[in-house]
Amino acid sequence: MEHLSRPGEEVPGTSDPVTRLRLDVTSETESITGAPSGARARLLTAARSARRPAVTTGFVSSFAGRVAAMDALLASASPADWTQKIVEGWTLQQLVAHLAATDSLVAAAIGAPVAGPPLAANEVLTRTADMIAYADGLTPERTRADWLDQAEAIYAHAAPMEPSTPIDPGGMSFPVADHLLARMLETWIHTDDAAKVLGRALPRPITEHIRPTADFCARLLPWTMLLSGVDGGDRAVRLTLTGPGGGAWHVPLDVARPATPDDGSPAHAAITCDVVAFCFMLGGRGAPATFPAQLEGDAELARLVLATAPALSGP
């Protein structure tokens, strides 16, 4: 199995958190395609024993998987890595504080313990500023531990809930399952931001975690248009996302009419693109004007859908 290390580093063994993560992802994939045998099986067993057990079932599992990926990256970070600027002018420690801030709105909404200072407002930017100020007085290890403990409390409190239960962290009322998919997507994107700056290679989520996230992103399209001041009216698009975890959806551009798996219903336009690129574009990574996609039918409508897609993305 390939491991990509920093230039000049020795390739680590299973004690390295990122290597263990890669092995764990391989294990999850092979549990679907066929169990590993011999030396590979023994190596995977040893690697898993060195990590906290991951949440692998239910609607919380996609978020849990990306938290595990970020935690593996943080576990491998050097003291200098924690002071690197990652995104939005934030250091790695401040980025983790931002993730903890947004997670804390979900934690408060479901009655889980909230990390950091008391919530002053149910709003991301204010909470982020408060959490970054709080983290400035902590060690990186404590910031990481507070973020991780809160995320694990979210799993524990959310898992027995009915997935359709509405909650409104940040003033956005959606089912709890969708809010955890939103947390998965942001954690995935910011983990990727950090991995690129730190020169580490992380495995992408397994197919079973990408698919519900892609479905969530497809269902967001009428909302991103509405938030952008665009009336989708009675129009619809067919969205085909390629690659592992992808699929095809019929997406009415009216928030009152939910997107569904594509059944061949008439659509005014069709968009075909890579599933991961699409999810990242909704998360604010990639310019819609140059986004690589195949467009059919009403090309103007398709381009409008793509242009408004990142409307819900934040820092």
Are β-strands 90-91 and 166-167 bridged in parallel, bridged antiparallel, or unpaired?
A: unpaired
Outline where DSSP puts E strands in the chain: 85-87, 90-91, 166-167, 174-175, 236-242, 247-252, 260-261, 269-274, 294-297
Among candidates 89, 176, 96, which has minimal Cα distance to 128? 96
Domain boundary assignment for the chain: 1-51, 53-203, 211-312
pLDDT in tens, the chain (315 residues): 223 233 233 333 434 455 545 444 434 433 333 444 444 444 334 434 444 555 556 899 999 999 999 999 999 999 999 999 999 999 999 999 999 999 999 999 999 999 999 999 999 999 999 999 999 999 999 999 999 999 999 999 999 999 999 999 999 999 999 999 999 999 999 999 999 999 998 889 999 999 999 999 999 999 999 999 998 889 999 999 999 999 999 999 999 999 999 999 999 999 999 999 999 999 999 899 999 999 999 999 999 999 999 999 988
- Tell me how far CA of residue 159 lies from CA of 73, 110, 205, 208, in angstroms: 25, 11, 20, 17
> Hey, is 1 helix, strand or coil?
coil
Q: What are phi and psi of 183, to 5 degrees?
A: -65, -35
> Hey, is 240 helix, strand or coil?
strand
pTM exceeds 0.75 for this model: yes
- Tell me how far CA of residue 40 lies from CA of 2, 24, 29, 168, in angstroms: 14, 11, 13, 45
In whole angstroms, how large is the CA radius of gyration of the chain?
Answer: 20
pLDDT of residue 314: 83
Among candidates 293, 290, 289, which has minimal Cα distance to 307? 289
Q: Could you tell me the two tokens for 295? A: 């467009």
pLDDT of residue 315: 81
Query: What is the distance between the alpha carbons of residues 246 and 37, in angstroms, rounded to a whole number?
Result: 29
Are β-strands 247-252 and 260-261 bridged in parallel, bridged antiparallel, or unpaired?
A: antiparallel
Among candidates 32, 25, 6, 30, which has minimal Cα distance to 68? 25
CATH T-level assignment (fold) for domain 211-312: Nonspecific Lipid-transfer Protein; Chain A (3.30.1050)
Superfamily the domain 53-203 falls into? dinb family like domain (1.20.120.450)
The yes-or-no answer to whether 53-203 and 211-312 have a common fold is no
Element at 213 (helix H, strand E): helix 207-227
